[in-house]
Structures are given as C-alpha cells and as structure tokens.
Amino acid sequence: MTTEDDLYERLATYEGRPAAVAGEGGDPVNAPMIRHWCEALGHPVPADGTAPAPMLQVWTMRGLSTHPGTAGGGSRAGAYDELLALLDGAGCTAVVATDCEQEYLRPLRPGERITFDAVIESVSPRKTTRLGSGHFVTTRMDVRADGELAGRHRFRILKYAPARAPGERPRRPRPVVNRDNAGYWEGVERHELLIQRCSSCGTLRLPWLPGCNTCGSDAWDTLPACGRGTVFSRVVVHHPPFPAFAPPYAVALVELAEGVRLLGGVVGVPYDKVRIGMPVALEFRHADGEPAVPVFRAEV
C-alpha cells in the first residue's frame, strides 16, 4: 500500500508539466492525407477541400517512429516520456486509449503548417479495470494552423498492468462443492456422472438437491448416466471474456438419455456448429491438475 501511495505521489508531480512543446506536424495539412483518411473511413470528402474535423489529432501523430529522422510530430517533451517510463517501471506496461474530446475552432486547410503544445492535465490514483490495474493519464493539446489556434484536444489513456502476466495460464473457476452435492463431484472426479434418484417415487434429479421436488422425500440413491445425450439448447459466449476461457465458445444444455439436463461445454465441433438436437457423448476433462469437469463431445 505504502509503495503504491509513494508511486502515486511521484506520478502526481507530473500534473501540469508539458507533454509536448512546440511540436510540429510531420506534414502540412494536405489533400492526399485527407482523401486517404476519407477513403479508409468511408467518410465523404469535403467539397471545399478542408480536412474533416475529426482528423485534428492525425496531423500531430508521430507516425512510424522506428525509422529515426523520418517521423513527424516528434516533439514529445521529456516529462511525458518520464511519466510513461515511471509507469512502465511500476509494471503498467500496457496502454489503451479510453477517451478523446475535441473542440474545433476553425477548419484546417491544405497548405497550413500544424504546430502544437500539450500539457499533462491529470494522473489518476490507481484504478482497477477489467483490463488490469493502472493509472489514467489525461493530456490536453492546443493545435495551431499557421500559428493560429484551430482546435483543442483532450486525450485520456490507461497505462496498466495487464490482469494476467504474459504466458501465465489463468485458472478456471472451481466447482462449488457442499454437503448436498459432494457425492456428485466425487463421482465426476472418478469420471462417473451420478444422477440422483428419489428412493420414494423414483424421480431423477440433476443438479443434486437435498429433497425430491415431486414427492418431498429426502431419501435417495444414484444412477450413473449412460453418457448419451442431445443438445436441448445452446448459447455462444462472445462477451464478457473470462480469463480462463477464450471466446467465442458454445455452452449447451444437454438432455441426457435418462431425461435430466446438464449444462456443459461442447467439444469436437466449432462453436457455431452446435445445433439443437445434435447427439453428444459425455466426457470428462482434467485441465492441468484442476478438478475434473463433465463436457460433451459432438457425435458427428
């Protein structure tokens, strides 16, 4: 906690310091870049030859700066690079843009030379997001065309430590085992899927419950599933992503031959080829020393 507070104290000292001083656009405003931008985005080309307003920041971009001396706009002030390096050093190595606010005072015309100054407006305390935990950095830029203020621009990035270190395998959620379903999970661990059966009326139930919904009896024994089933219903998960699962993937509600239904992943077939009524066979999967789980293999 203390180290985090210390870090934030250091980060906060960058507020108000310059992010770019007397920056210069690599190219003057020009018709080819305007046309290429319009072409890429499907935007109409302005008939009066001016640049579409949302291009404001484009004229200030550093470009492919891996070739020294060829990129434009390379006037980043030391304070901004220092701030980013400090965040890199604290493990916040990844970056994503989150917000952009632009104000357009007048159109930009071909031939105009772009200059800009930017200031580090704020650095947020540590925040935890879906991507990971890190700091939001907001910069504000004044863009001038031939020396005249033409637009303002506020840009926010999140510098963060990815929630998962590269190469580290995220763990799958573990089953919730309690005294009412312990026997079920013990069966799964031995690769046996046990269906509960009411000793009084014979009704089958899955998932396991303490009593029978049909007659109310709490006496039961078990019946091992034969392993045949058909897809009763299915969904494809695209979002939100869970760290251990790579979307998109299919999750099916499978009706077992015995008549009870069970949720599970479907393997052996692409996610978009899982169909209602498709026959499936029960299998058990052990993911790297984690508890076994039932899955269903599509029967082709």
**Binding residues for Zn ion (CB under 5 A):** 198, 200-201, 203, 212, 214-215, 217
Residues in the chain: 300
Residue 16 CA to residue 22 CA, distance in Å, equals 16
The one among 8, 21, 24, 57 contacting other proteins by CB under 8 A: 57
214 binds, among other proteins, Zn ion, none (CB under 5 to 8 A by kind): Zn ion
Residue 269 CA to residue 295 CA, distance in Å, equals 12
* 23: amino acid identity, one letter: G
Q: Does 104 bind other proteins (CB under 8 A)?
A: yes
Query: Of the two residues 219 and 236, which places its CB atom closer to other proteins in the complex?
Result: 236
Q: Which of 100, 117, 140 is nearest to 20 (CA)?
A: 117
x-or-dash string of contact with other proteins, 109-148, rule CB under 8 A: ----------------------x-----------------
Stretch that binds other proteins, among 159-167, 202-210, 214-222, 282-290 (CB under 8 A): 159-167
292 binds, among Zn ion, other proteins, none (CB under 5 to 8 A by kind): none
Residues with Cβ within 8 Å of residue 249, at least 6 apart in sequence: 236, 237, 265, 271
Q: Does 171 bind other proteins (CB under 8 A)?
A: no
N-terminal to C-terminal alpha carbon distance within the chain: 55
47 binds, among other proteins, Zn ion, none (CB under 5 to 8 A by kind): other proteins
Q: Does 52 bind other proteins (CB under 8 A)?
A: yes
Residue 90 CA to residue 161 CA, distance in Å, equals 8
Q: Does 187 bind other proteins (CB under 8 A)?
A: no
Q: 110 near 28, Cβ under 8 Å? A: yes
Q: Does 61 bind other proteins (CB under 8 A)?
A: yes
Q: How many residues bind other proteins (CB under 8 A)?
A: 44
Residue 49 CA to residue 35 CA, distance in Å, equals 9
Q: Does 166 bind other proteins (CB under 8 A)?
A: yes
Strands 148-162 and 194-198: unpaired
Residue 239 CA to residue 241 CA, distance in Å, equals 5
Residues 222-241 interacting with other proteins (rule: CB under 8 A): 238-241
Residue 5 CA to residue 11 CA, distance in Å, equals 10
Site residues (vs other proteins, CB under 8 A):
33, 36-37, 39-44, 46-47, 52-55, 57-58, 61-65, 94, 96-104, 107, 131, 162-164, 166, 238-241, 246-247
